[in-house]
Structures are given as C-alpha cells and as structure tokens.
Amino acid sequence: MDEVFNAAVIAKKLIEKKSITPNDGDCQEYIKKELENYKFSCENINLEDVKNIWLRKGSDRPLVVFAGHTDVVPPGNIDEWDTDPFTPEIKNNILYGRGASDMKSSIAAMVAATQRFIKDNPNHKGSIGFLLTSDEEGPAKYGTQKVIEKFKKNNTNIDYCIVGEPTSSKKFGDTIKNGRRGSITGHLKIIGIQGHIAYPELAKNPIHYAGTLINDLNNFKWDNGNKYFPETSFQISSVRSDEVASNMIPRSIDITFNLRFSNELTQEKIKSKFEEKLSKLGCQFEIKWNCSAEPFITDEGKLTKILQSAIKEIVNVEASLSTSGGTSDARFISQHAKETVEFGPLNETAHKVNENINLQNLAELEKIYYAVLCKILI
C-alpha cells in the first residue's frame, strides 16, 4: 500500500473513533494493532479513567519517541459543522473531522512513517517508542505526567522526542516548538466591609482595592524575557463581586487571573511578589494558586537541526524555533528526555468547527517524520 495513502487511512480510522477527553475510544488499541507486526512491545498504563500506552521496538540507544494524545475536545454545536465531526470526510483534498489537526493526523503520520522506516531499514540502530495518552485535552493529571514519573523510576531514558502538536502557523512547516512558557493561575478574593452605598465611610469597598491592584499589575514589568521567551504576561479572566443590590457596597470581590511566564521566573517568585503587592493594599484577602506548567526550553541541538533539515528537504521551508502558544505534554517529557520538540500540521483549525488537514500536508508530515528517523537511526 502506498505510504501516503496509508497515513490518510490511519487518520480517518482515528478520527471516526469518538475519543472526547478523557475517553480514548479504542484509538490506542488500533495503533497497537497497526504496529504489532513491527516487533513493538506494548505496555498499557491505565490510571483512573485515563488510558496510556507505551509501545517500543528495540532496547538500544538512542531511543527516539513519538508522543501525542488520542483524546480530543468536544465538537461544540454539531449544527455548525458542515460534516459529522466523527465521520471523516475528504473534500477537495482536505480531510475534515475532530482531531484532524489536533492531533490524530500527526499520530497517523508517525505510525505510517515508522512502518515504512522499519520496512526499509529492518536492521536500524537504536529504538523507536510511542507514548500516547487520552488525558491531554483535560486536566492532564493521569496521562503523560504519570508515565514520565514511571520512566524516571525504571530508567527508561528518552534521547529524542517529537510531540505531534499542530505547531505550523502561516505555512506548513514554518514553526517548531522547542519550549513553552509556564502557566500559573490565581484565584483571589479581596474582602472588604459590606455597607450602604450612601455611607462609604462606614464600609470598605473591595472593588476599589481591586482597582488599585489591577492598575499596579497592568503596569508592572515582571521580566524582560530572553532569547527564547517573550516577557511574562499578566491577564485577568474573571472579576465577580457578591453585590446583590445596586445600593450596596459588596463584602468581597473574586478575581481569576493568569500569568504566562518565562524561565526568568519561578512560580515561587511570582507568588512572593504578588502577595507582597497584596499586603501593601491594607485589606484582607485570600488567594489560591494553581501552576499547571513550568516553563521549559530545549536548546538548539541535534534534534532541532535534524528536524529543520528534514523540513527544508521535504517542503522547502525554513522552520523557526518558537515558545509561543499554550501548554502541551512536552512540558512533562522535557523533564526526562535529552531533547524534546513539538512539530505538526497547521494549527489554524485546531479545536474549531470544521477542523481539518490538507492531505498534501499529511503526506509531507509523514515524509518529515520518516526523514528524522533516517537521520538519527541509520
């Protein structure tokens, strides 16, 4: 069977499996069957309602790992789709369906590239692994994070890892993610004294304290960024008071905010500086923190150079390195792997209605992954 066609067939098979997070929809079992004739061992690492699978061929180094997630976000309003999100359709060489961009097509390209590579190079050096989870689009508590903890304990050492997130921006192949910013969310309650709005001297308005704080934070420079990261950003996502009447000063106000931070900072430094500013307000407050990701960076090295070279050879595009965007499971893998990068299709339709991938890009993606395997394992 033609390798390009094979990647498209695998993508369609995966898309038709309704794997809304944390449900795997038997995607991993299908991938296991696709690779079982290529001498891959299999370990299912299932925790709570999350399915994880570790597939490996070989025991020698270097170990090249393809990583990704089989879960997808919900489709949203089905009526807004031109096609059934879980019935893959091809129109004008475009494959439509939930997960076409993020990231079932990448997994399909990884599997097809691996099959072709092993067929062409049965005596290759090193090892190939697949690390897949159904818990990336959700809380990400029992997925890749737990598998990497297990790897650390049993000395499963990863040399090079490619995570198949949709990284391309304007043109397929233009962006490789070699790091991501950290993400920390704060849930702040500022507590004042409730009272009649006509007698402000008898109350303490928490909204006024909040206004002072927000103005301070909007103008505060957390850092200057560096070679890899832009400066840290602060954004408010929610402001809500417990006001029940227009003539009342509320007792409290709740603010939810987020900082995307560079490796110039740590979550401890952010918490310390923030709470220092709160203390200066002279009001009562409560705050809870949730750091979902620490910043990470993979310096330019063998993997980034090989991947850039493969992209140039296949699609004639000069891929740039970037740390923009949200978080991914690369944040867990990078703690243990020698080099970790993300590379995949265009991200324009990820999580959107009518999510899709150009089949030419899918074919090119498979060739790029194949070229990387050749450059490392031959």
The amino acid present at 248, given as its one-letter code, is M
The amino acid present at 120, given as its one-letter code, is D
Which phi and psi angles does 118 have, rounded to 5°? -65, -40
Is 339 one of the annotated active-site residues of the chain? no
**Which candidate in 71, 137, 342, 355 is catalytic?**
71
Three-state SS string over the chain comes to: CCHHHHHHHHHHHHHCCCCECCCCCCHHHHHHHHHHHHCCEEEECCECCECEEEEEECCCCCEEEEEEECCECCCCCHHHCCCCCCCCEEECCEEECCCCCCCHHHHHHHHHHHHHHHHHCCCCCCEEEEEEECCCCCCCCCCHHHHHHHHHHHCCCCCEEEECCCCECCCCCCEEECEECEEEEEEEEEECECEECCCHHHCECHHHHHHHHHHHHHHCCCCCCCCCCCCCEEEEEEEEECCCCCCEECCEEEEEEEEEECCCCCHHHHHHHHHHHHHHHCCEEEEEEEEEECCEECCCCHHHHHHHHHHHHHHCCCCEEECCCCCCCHHHHCCCCCEEEECCCECCCCCCCCCEEEHHHHHHHHHHHHHHHHHHHC
Q: What does the alpha-carbon distance between residue 42 and residue 35 come to, in Å, rounded to a whole number?
A: 10
Determine contact, residues 226/263, Cβ cutoff 8 Å. Answer: yes
Q: What does the alpha-carbon distance between residue 147 and residue 66 come to, in Å, rounded to a whole number?
A: 14
Is 71 one of the annotated active-site residues of the chain? yes
Report the DSSP beta bridge partners of residue 188: 255, 287
**Which candidate in 24, 34, 136, 364 is catalytic?**
136
Residue showing tokens 């009447």: 245
Q: Catalytic residue positions?
A: 71, 136
